[in-house]
Amino acid sequence: MSIKKAIIPAAGLGTRFLPATKAMPKEMLPIVDRPTIEYIVEEAVDSGIEDIIIVTGKGKRAIEDHFDSAYELEENLLKKGKYDLLEKVQKSANVEIHYIRQKEPKGLGHAIWSARKFIGNEPFAVLLGDDIVQNKIPCLKQLISVYEDTRSSVIGVQQVSEDETNRYGIIDPLSNRDRLYEVNRFVEKPPLGTAPSNLAIIGRYILTPEIFSFLEEHNIGAGGEIQLTDAIEQLNKTQKVFAFEFIGKRYDVGEKLDFIKTTIDLALQRDDLREPLLQYMKQKENRNTPSI
């Protein structure tokens, strides 16, 4: 069976972006002119996912509205002949998006557990909105290929610098062949200086449904939250869980400075924005003073 269902958890409080996220979900923060979550949905669709369940929470209605059809807006654009914009706001026909509410933000593990009935008894993907990955072969598609070879859970990892390891789930690798690691241990947010490696879990997962029996236990982990990494660690004791060092440029949009860098990089990829933006940055470099 191939991977056709994906969970996108989006029920976190987004405290690192307060006050912007007081009334607006962090997944709706725009990068250039598209909400972050649209990049994530696009990667899922490009990887062959047919059904997505977005786990939402309090104050997340804007996400549902965003992926719904907007009849009045579409009529208006049609009348005005703005077909390029019309295409941008129309619903994707290639994917069904469903929603479920996590009643309380008890942690990522709990958010995934909340979607168990939608997943049923099949392997599935998880994509976190905090990471955008660009690559010709989408990151999730790379993990799905590994799943198809191994028929085991596969966790996306990339190297991070040593002083950042306390912000991530980190793997303790056993062996490595062609970017694929067998894993001894998965540790969530190890204190600095104790990380078993600098290979960090980066928000893309393929999981077998057996993960739900461990999430069911609702064990509290790092930061007082129910952690997905802890359930993966338990799963790895009963069936093999691989880590795969995927290929691609990763943008961390859960952090303020990286969010700004991502906006600049993605704007530079746009024909309409590249030149004026470069000129503006050159001006700033020359004058080194704030300009309006």
Report whether 234 contacts 221 (CB < 8 A): no
* Parallel, antiparallel or unpaired: strands 169-177 and 180-188: antiparallel
Q: Enumerate binding residues for ligand UTP (CB under 6 A).
A: 9-16, 26, 55, 102, 105-108, 110-111, 128-130, 254
Q: Please say which residue, 167 or 261, places its beta carbon nearer to ligand UTP.
A: 167
Residue 223 CB, nearest approach to ligand UTP (Å): 8
Reduced to 3 states (helix: H, G, I; strand: E, B; else coil), residue 272 is coil
Residue 128 CB, nearest approach to ligand UTP (Å): 5
Q: Please say which residue, 256 or 284, places its beta carbon nearer to ligand UTP.
A: 256
Q: E strands of the chain, at which residues?
A: 5-9, 30-31, 34-35, 51-56, 96-101, 124-127, 131-134, 153-159, 169-177, 180-188, 199-207, 241-245, 249-252
Q: Please say which residue, 205 or 244, places its beta carbon nearer to ligand UTP.
A: 205
Containing H/E element for 256?
helix 256-268
Q: Please say which residue, 77 or 188, places its beta carbon nearer to ligand UTP.
A: 188
Residue 124 CB, nearest approach to ligand UTP (Å): 15
Q: Please say which residue, 9 or 123, places its beta carbon nearer to ligand UTP.
A: 9
Residue 17 CB, nearest approach to ligand UTP (Å): 6
Residue 30 CB, nearest approach to ligand UTP (Å): 16
